[in-house]
Structure 1
Amino acid sequence: MLMTEQGSTSRELGLLPYVELSFGVIGQTLPADHGYGLYSAIAHLCPEIHEQEGVSIQTISGKPDGEGRIYLSRQSRLKIRLPYEPAKISLLLPLAGQLLTIGKHEIQLGIPQIFPLYPVDKLRSRIVTIKKFQEPEPFKEAAQRQLDALGIQGNLILPLNETGEPSRKAIKIKTYSVVGFSLMVTDLNDEDSLKLQAFGLGGKHRMGCGVFSPFPRRARSVYE
């Protein structure tokens, strides 16, 4: 059964409501870097997605094995963020129950639920890519310019890795790699939180880049 919840917060703020389609995932493993492969598998079944504006596809969470794979769990989900428009949503509903092949891995999708976005004052993106900006400080300045262009006020932070350096990430697209950084934005008001979740930063949103989400519950206390 398709479950829908439509919050009023976005409407109250004068924004076009965005929602997330959340598909349960059945499978064992995926490549840790699966953004491009996931998008390709989805587009094979729903080719109209190429022409749809405002669609973001988040990578599927799992436990890294340290060898370039992740192990999936009952909590693993495929989440697709898009405007709350019936025509757009209907294009993706055929994914329900489908088998996706990503490299040598296979996953089966469940029946989607639809959830509204909700505002929180801290958001993060695992990787944000901005063309021509591959060093931390110029990248941060470029990201700040994009925040300013969206009219979003917040504190932009580049999280540090185990060695104390900004957390540099990369995704592989066919034969080349795109470099980016993890980003956090804190001190957001409700309107700016929803706006950042709707529009994101940088490029490659359909491959899991530039999509901002609340911190997982287990990690929130670290940043509070």
Structure 2
Amino acid sequence: MRVFYGGSFDPVHNGHVAIARAARDALHAEVALLPARDPPHKAATHADAEQRAELLELAIEGEPALRVDRRELHRAGPSYTCDTLAELRADLGGSAPLAWLIGADSLLQLHTWHRWRELFDLAHIVAVQRPGAEVDAARLRAEAPQVLAEIGQRWLPPDALADSPHGGFALLPLAELRPESSTELRRRIAAGEQWRDWVPERVAARIVQLNLYRDPAVILPASSSSVRP
């Protein structure tokens, strides 16, 4: 079983790593994290593609069965999931079980993705549910009926996905409520507030070294060496 987890990772944080670990452990799979070069559903990223990929490599350093796949960085144009999965399917063959990992919030927007129904011809879709932000059939019926209509007959328990190469859908509960978000993390860094505990220490050190996400208008205290921004 191969699992692929795409995103802008702008920047990567502990919540991203927790999701990758949860998928690895629940699905007994290798998980590849794919930083997008040009995320089609989001505004321009705040760090460039290579910087985001470097931070991602640092975040998962030493984690078994987690790796970074940079293929979207090498492809011009928007980083459409359907194109990435088509490339992965060509590389890995038609019989390999593949799954694409998304957040539950993305599941509610799945019908807005480019050629979204074709995703199921290429891989399984696994939606991660954070405590307090659960998505069930009733919520899908109210907020994304197109998605419910598509996945209704595809719904499987996570451990059944490895029995077929593609076409299934599963929900993967995340046991621990994670506070991190990239948007809030960028805000904290820009404002000079505490943020280091939201990322692995290696990532924090590199963000500081590259002066990423900092608002130049914010002046840190003179004793900034003793401050954990």
TM-score normalised over the length of structure 1? 0.32
Higher radius of gyration, 1 or 2:
2
Higher strand share: 1
Between the two structures, name the one with larger relative contact order (CA 8 Å, sep ≥ 6).
1
* TM-score (normalised: structure 2): 0.32
